[in-house]
Structure 1
Amino acid sequence: MSTPARITHFIDGKPWHGPAGRTGPVHNPATGEQTGTVDLAPAEVVSAAVRSARTAWREWSGLSLARRSQVLFAFRELLNARRHEVAALVTAEHGKVLSDALGEVTRGLEVAEFACGIPHLLKGGYTENAATGVDVHSVRQSLGVVAVISPFNFPAMVPMWFVPLALACGNAVVLKPSEKDPSAALALAALWKEAGLPDGVLQVVNGDKEAVDTLLTHEDVRAVSFVGSTPVARYVYETATAHGKRVQALGGAKNHMLVLPDADLDLAADAAVNAGFGSAGERCMAVSALVAVEPVADDLVARIAARMAKLRVGDGTRGCDMGPLVTRQHRDKVASYLDAGVAAGAALVVDGRDTAVDADGEGFFLGPTLFDRVEPHMSLYTDEIFGPVLSVLRVRSYDEGLALVNANPYGNGTAIFTNDGGAARRFQNEVEVGMVGVNVPIPVPVSHYSFGGWKQSLFGDTHAHGTEGVHFFTRGKVVTSRWADPSHGGLNLGFPQND
């Protein structure tokens, strides 16, 4: 077994060379081997990174939009050229299969492409002669230093939801990736430097709760973007807002897929397997509750089980369909729900503990699992399991299914499968969920729309990326002006340039 590599912070444009202090393990989930040791930043290191970022922000925010756009375009090209390298880092530390990891990087790349249009996105309004001789115009300006705290399940994509827009808007960013899989975030930071981002404008500090709490309370941090579980999202929101910061904290989910009797059941079965077991169910947009409107449940469960039998589980580098869970502790926690489900009376149709695995060593594997006849009071339904466990609930009507979805405390994503346009239109209007799919099981918006849920899936008023992301990372200002005489700038016959 090789010696675990040291994984440290990225501060002022280079890896940090201070003493390691407290550290944490980083594993390859497919083998169980510890491949790295990550430095866990104490409060003083985080504070130093924030202070340095604030100094760098002053120069960065003063650059023209044309100059900032050049850096964004360069980063986009670099990431596009090296997306396979970043995806490999995601697979090595998170465990998701390479194709899924590449999809993650590609979706993050879309946000960088959206941010390249920042000159248009930051255009203000102008009103001439709002009053006699008085003109009024609006602008949006950067906040200063913003913190991004990202989760383990999307170590490349979630930082990309926030960092490109925050930088494009003229802010400096302190990114705190998950200590479970930090290398993708560090690779992205190195690409930003190569693209021409000045040192200190993007800092990456690894750490645990101590680092998070420092960012939430530091006087120089103006805003916090967070993605994680609902209890932690609530804590982040309450702590940071109590210290005067604006916050977008995206929490957990219990995503429902409502299947009506007229649906194409083959399409629905494919979607349920894809959305339920992709990335081993470690997605906030995973379908974990399939709501079947009778009389289709028996047929649909049989079709899903048949498809699950064809899935290949193993090391994400070997062309498998599904990889391991991120840690042994998380794997064991998810597996405990199988015993709880059986004890509560649910029907265990496919037991993921019996799945054959294509991997070396003792990885953190749990195969795809299917429960039928799940009831709303069972922990299989009430808890966000965050693993490859799909629960089927049976209802008698559309109205009963809709009521079930709306009664759930989460409101992140949902989907309806039907060939009835009227039913689909009614559902998208009546369902109390932030992101809705019609015959689309994972309705993650494209980058120029915004991502975020309702109810306990979001704390704060602003969703991620899209125009809401631009507004989150800027402050509006309105200027009212009156001038007695126009100024005269002298003669210059050269073609005007943006600089």
Structure 2
Amino acid sequence: MTAPVAHWLDNASFPGSSDRTAEVTNPATGEVTGRVALASAADAEAVIASAAAAAPGWAATSVAARTQVVFRFRELLNERAADLAAIITAEHGKVLSDAAGEVARGQEVVEFACGIPHLLKGGYSEQVSTGVDVHSKRQPLGVVGVISPFNFPAMVPMWFFPLAIAAGNTVVLKPSEKDPSASLWMAELWREAGLPDGVFNVLQGDKEAVDALLDHASVKAISFVGSTPIAQYVYERGSAAGKRVQALGGAKNHMVVLPDADLDLAADQAVNAGFGSAGERCMAISVLVAVGPVADDLVAKIADRARGLVTGDGTRGADMGPLVTRPHRDKVAAYVDAGESAGAKVVVDGREVDADGAADGFWLGPTLLDHVTPEMSVYTDEIFGPVLSVVRVETYDEAVALVNANRYGNGVALFTSSGGAARKFEVDVEVGMIGINVPIPVPMAYYSFGGWKSSLFGDSHAHGTEGVHFFTRGKVVTSRWNDPAVKPQGGLELTFPQNT
């Protein structure tokens, strides 16, 4: 039996002392391909201690030297991106082209981090008062923890660790135990890029590892992406321990289609955004809001496209792969059962898919439900699978009210030919990320990613300038240097200082 997928400490694989492990499977075959170590408290202590020991030296390293390491990581990742994509497909199940896209979007943040000298520079004001100057600076926090989900084992960690490292912090990454191997591949790439021991570390595990990061005094900040209940737990426990926390939670993203929209474009994008990566995206479109008379034509067009998709093994040219585990596949299918029982019409039934893959794969094909209403569980809950629900409304105002009444506020899209309607929609909706004729409005790396309401706990979004600020602390220095040619200076004055 091969050794479990291990932790990463001091730029080397670290097996740890725990005897607890979890299965790692290939979702396209159902085969158990390995096991991953689940950290004990002692394992977590060892990994965090390594990061803490490395923190002062890395923070003292020049910005130029840190940037050179990040740039070398970028170059190595460009050369070997296909290798990382293959690892993602083998453990997550998404098709190879989608895995390659994940790596490319993560690389955007690496490239943004290469510009960290400009992002870290402070300001300087001379002679703000007589003989007084003021300047500002940003400094690293120390050890930061990154807790990432199964659906993007490379991209989501890369939303955080490039900026954290470039800013002078050390990192402990806790990847999902469902697809852990990408984390070690990236750790090895950092070592090859010249990153010193202890700057990038991996702690494999489950809740015990998460709690260790949330509670440990040496960990100063936590970045988390996952479901809303866990995001809230991470935020509350981490904040109670005095940490800075950004916890990105779940979503129920709507796509509103107005009567003047290009219905063929809308249908194409609804399929792309609803069924890409088997719907296992926090930015997936899971609700299509058909306004007025467009519903029948739009549903027919989406159904026609969805029936033509090939569900199968991501290494064999399929359009959509399996779900990540069998329990998750069965949970998603149960939502379809519940929607049907509640009165939704199953237009395309993914439960009956004939997949191009092994019989034991975790298959569920594209599923389209029409006449869904807001009280149904297929509408209220984040399903995280290839299920697209159609809700019919009569007016723009009804559509906006539906979006705003939802507990989530991660992403939303509007399809229209009217610039006026688009401009009004941007103002009216209570959602953090908005697409206009764009179904998955994930911002570029130099903007920040994050939602509203129950889709985000904490005040800071991911990457962009907000990401830089999250991983640094600001200082403002007010200084006065006496001019030896001017005497006398000083003297007693107990009034509040004023700028004169």
TM over 0.5: yes
State how 1:165-204 maps to structure 2 within 5 Å. 165-204=163-202
Counterpart in the other structure of 1:259:
257
User: Is 1:347 aligned with 2:313?
Assistant: no
Match of 1:324 among 307, 322, 325: 322
Q: Does 1:405 align with 2:430?
A: no
Which residue of 268, 271, 280 corresponds with 2:266? 268
Q: Structure 1 residues 144, 155: CA separation in 2 closer, same or farther (over 3 Å shift)? A: same
Of 310, 313, 336, the match for 2:311: 313
Letter in 2 for 1:477: K
Structure 2 residue runs of 5 or longer lacking an equivalent are 485-500
CA distance in 1, matches of 2:229, 2:268: 32
The equivalent residue for 2:487 is none
Q: TM-score, structure 2 length as denominator?
A: 0.96
Amino acid at match of 1:300: L
Q: Please state if 1:213 is matched with 2:211.
A: yes
* Counterpart-to-counterpart distance in 2, 1:276 and 1:18: 40
1:292 to 2:285 alignment:
no
CA distance in 2, matches of 1:191, 1:297: 49
2:375 corresponds to: 377
- List aligned pairs for 1:217-228, cutoff 5 A: 217-228=215-226
Q: Which residue matches 2:429?
A: 431
Distance 1:338 1:52 in 2: 47
Letter in 2 for 1:234: Q
How far did residue 21 of structure 1 move? 1.1
Letter of the 1:242 partner, please give it: A
Residues of 2 paired with 1:451 and 1:268: CA distance? Answer: 24
Partner of 2:59: 61
CA distance in 2, matches of 1:378, 1:177: 33
For 1:233 and 1:418, the matched residues in 2 are separated by 34
- 1:77 alignment partner in structure 2: 75
- Equivalent residues in 2 for 1:389-400 (5 A)? 389-400=387-398
Match of 1:110? Answer: 108
Which piece of structure 1 moves more, 232-241 or 475-484?
Answer: 475-484
How many pairs align? 484
Superposition RMSD on alpha carbons, in Å? 0.9
User: For the residues of structure 2 that align with 1:51 and 1:360, how far apart are their CA atoms?
Assistant: 44
Give the Cα–Cα distance (whole angstroms) in 1 for the partners of residues 277 and 473 of structure 2.
37
8 Å CA contact retained: 1:4, 1:35:
no
**Who is 1:127 aligned against?**
125
**Among the aligned pairs, what percent are the same residue?**
71
**CA drift at 1:483:** 1.9
Shift of 1:5: 5.3
In 1: Cα distance, 2:42 partner to 2:481 partner: 50
Counterpart secondary structure, 1:7: coil
Please say if residues 165 and 470 of structure 1, whose CA atoms lie closer than 8 Å, have aligned partners that are also in contact: yes
Is the 1:452–1:463 Cα contact (8 Å) retained in structure 2? Answer: yes
Superposed CA deviations along residues 199-231 of structure 1, whole A, max 9, x for unmatched, are 101110100000000100101110000000000
Structure 2 residue 26 is the aligned partner of structure 1 residue 28:
yes
Shift of 1:484: 3.0
2:14 aligns with 16
Runs of 4+ in 1 over 4 A off after TM superposition: none
Checking the alignment, whether the CA contact within 8 Å between 2:4 and 2:21 is kept in structure 1 is no
Gaps of 5+ in 1: 487-499
Compute the displacement of 1:360 (Å).
2.2
**Corresponding residue of 2:227:** 229
Partner Cα distance (1:245, 1:290) in 2: 38
Aligned ranges 1:460-475 → 2 under 5 Å: 460-475=458-473
Q: Which amino acid counterpart does residue 117 of structure 2 have in structure 1?
A: P
Q: Is the 8 A contact 1:4 1:34 kept in 2?
A: no
Alignment of 1:40-59 (within 5 A): 40-59=38-57
1:286/1:442 contact within 8 Å kept:
yes
Contact kept? 1:348, 1:372, Cα under 8 Å? yes
Q: TM-score, normalization: structure 1?
A: 0.96
